[in-house]
Amino acid sequence: MKETWEGRTKFEVARELLEKAIDSINRQNKPIEFGLRVFGHQSPRELKNCEDSRLEVPFGRNNAAEVRAALDRIEPKGYTPIAYSLFLAAHDFSGSSDAVNAIVLITDGEESCSGDPCASSEALRNRRISLKPYIIGLGLDPTEQAAFDCVGDYYDAADPVRFQEALGVVISQALRNTTVQVNLLDHLGRAAESDVELTFYDAYTGQDLYNLVHTTLRSGAPDTLYLDPVGKYNIDAHTTPPVRRQNVELVAGRHNIIALDVPQGDLVLQVEGNPGFTDLKCLVRDPETHEILYVQNFNTLHRYLAGSYNLEILTLPRIEMDDFPILPGQVNPYVVPASGRLLVQTNEPGILGVFIKRQQELVRVYEWRAFSGREVLDLQPGEYLLVFRPSRNKKIDNTREVLAVIYPAKSTTVRLE
């Protein structure tokens, strides 16, 4: 900082321009708060003090005069403990949940204390304490500049004019709103999907920070979000099944566009000839993991990601359909036959099983362990075998067999004599 720029030291030029910038911002943006941390100014260089860093002005509003006074009494002396200073900066901010924090790092050299500025910068963002720092380098050579690639956005200032320009750009970006547009892409790559719940998680802690319902404007474009640009996000689109994008990092002060592939189609479940109320349900499963993704009521419409699903209809007996296709941008109907009604009557209670034959084997569909003498059961159309044994006469040869044929939307009565 003691090198000269046009007859003055770099520190003198930087101090003057920084004071003017802060004073101007204080006048125009009353809610803005500034804090000033300085490093390498308390101990002479020969002491190699790698903890020479101090918060000279705590954060506060309208404190341009305090910043100016602090800068006027400071002289550059020692080492450049950048990583250590970034680490301490974590405790400088107020911790307000509605504040957007930013660090502007001004230096004429790279880290000189064997610290890791990259790790310190990443820790700040992971803890959602500050944005990736803005770095203004005062005439650094290319090798020194490259050392800041992982720390933040670097701006080179080789002379006073370029420093003033860089300072203006950095402050402008730090003060601008960070906006986000989430494009939910259909099967043609268009941002045409919408009305999906979105959750933004802190990628570091896992905490859910924003829960929103995606919306499109009258123009058809997705609505704009105003988000805190600090840290990284994991984003869930709560489709069926959900879609996640991890470690999304926003560019502060700019309009960010995030795209998620969520081509969807609608599944409509219907009972043939019965468009009204029914309590029938369907288990929709992932065909690979067999995980239940959704339990859908009949006579309803639900939206799924385009693809194939296994359907398990909770009829008696159950209907299973593997690899049922959901085509994107379409309504995909699945219709099951209407059930028939079986009415079973007997003069004595007992144990009754209802069976259906599948591939030459009998499969039990339903069982009454304490058949009361009169029961009703809704079954899919087909031929069934009823096997009954009275409770009072428990000899095995008292078992009775009766065939019953069930027709759609009709009742069949069976008496067990």
Flag whether pLDDT at 6 surpasses 80: no
Token pair for 53: 């860093």
> Pick from 78, 3, 7: which is nearest to 43 by CA?
78
DSSP H helical ranges for 127-270: 142-146, 160-175
Query: What is the CATH number for 352?
Result: 2.60.40.1120
3-state helix, strand, coil in the chain (%, to 5): 20, 45, 40
Whether the pLDDT of residue 403 is over 70: the answer is yes
Do 232 and 148 fall into the same domain?
no
Count of domains in the chain? 4
Is the domain of 349 the same as that of 310? no
- Residue 97: predicted pLDDT: 64
pLDDT in tens, 37-65: 999 999 988 888 999 999 999 999 889 89
Q: Is the pLDDT of residue 149 over 80?
A: yes
Residues 208 and 299 in one domain: no
Question: Rounded to the nearest 10 degrees, how much is the dihedral formed by the CA atoms of 294, 297, 298, 300?
Answer: -90
Residue of 242, 295, 226, 279 whose CA lies nearest to 234: 242
For the chain, give the mean pLDDT.
90
pLDDT over 70 at 275, yes or no: no
- pTM over 0.85? The answer is no
CATH number at residue 91: 3.40.50.410
Whether the pLDDT of residue 324 is over 90: the answer is yes
User: What pLDDT sits at residue 220?
Assistant: 84
- 288 and 247 part of one domain: no
Q: Is the pLDDT of residue 383 over 80?
A: yes
- Do 328 and 395 lie in one domain? The reply is no
Question: Do residues 58 and 206 both lie within one domain?
Answer: no
Instruction: Give the model's pLDDT for residue 287.
Output: 96
Name the more confident of 252 and 345. 345
DSSP 146-188: HTTTTTSEEEEESSHHHHHHHHHHHHHHHHSPPEEEEEEE-TT
255 and 399 in a single domain? The answer is no
**pLDDT at residue 339, rounded to an integer:** 92
- Rounded distance, CA 300 to CA 277, Å? 10
Distance in angstroms (rounded) separating the CA atoms of residues 74 and 39 = 10
Closest CA to 104 of 94, 120, 115, 89: 89
Q: Quick one: 42 and 166 in the same domain? A: yes
DSSP letter for each residue of 58-93:
EEEET-HHHHHHHHHH----S---HHHHHHHHTTTS
Q: How many CB atoms lie within 10 A of CB 252?
A: 21
Length of the chain: 417
Closest CA to 354 of 315, 401, 412: 401
Is pLDDT above 80 for 30? no
Which candidate, 94, 160, 155, 163, places its Cα nearest to that of 129? 94
Indicate whether 170 pLDDT > 80: yes
**What's the pLDDT band for 295 if we cut at 50, 70, 90?**
very high
Cα three-residue angle 165-94-54, rounded to 5 degrees:
65
Residues 165 and 194 in one domain: no
pLDDT band at 190 (very low <50, low <70, confident <90, very high): very high
Cα–Cα distance between 88 and 81 in angstroms, integer?
A: 11
CB 376 within 8 A of CB 334: no
**What is the span of the domain harbouring residue 184?**
179-261
* Domain endpoint, select from 199, 229, 261: 261
147 backbone φψ class: left, alpha, beta (φ>0; ψ -120 to 50): alpha
N-term to C-term CA, the chain: 107
Q: How confident is the model at residue 254 (pLDDT cuts 50, 70, 90)?
A: confident
- Pair 105, 195 in one domain: no
Residue 91 in this model has a pLDDT that exceeds 70: yes
CA atoms within 13 A on the CB side of 201: 14
Same domain? For 293 and 360 the reply is: no
Q: What was the pLDDT predicted at 276?
A: 60
Query: Of 314, 336, 358, which residue constitutes the final position of a domain?
Result: 336
167 or 329, higher pLDDT: 329
Residues 6 or more apart whose CB falls under 8 angstroms from that of 65 comprise none
pLDDT > 90: what percent of the chain? 54
Tokens linked to 404? 């019953």
CA–CA dist 328, 184 (Å, integer): 13
406 pLDDT band, cuts 50/70/90, is: very high
Q: Which of 287, 320, 336 is the last residue of a domain?
A: 336
Alpha-carbon distances of 83 from 40, 53, 117, 170, 392, rounded to whole Å: 12, 10, 4, 20, 87
pLDDT digits (tens, 9 = 90+) for 192-222: 999 999 999 999 889 999 999 999 988 888 9
pLDDT tens figures, 325-372: 999 999 999 999 999 999 999 888 889 999 999 888 999 999 988 888
Tell me: cis bond preceding 81? Omega within 30 of 0 counts.
no
d(CA 293, CA 286): 7
Question: pLDDT band at 277, cuts 50/70/90?
Answer: low
Q: Are residues 359 and 388 in the same domain?
A: yes
Min mean pLDDT across 60-74, 201-215, 228-242, 266-280 is at: 266-280
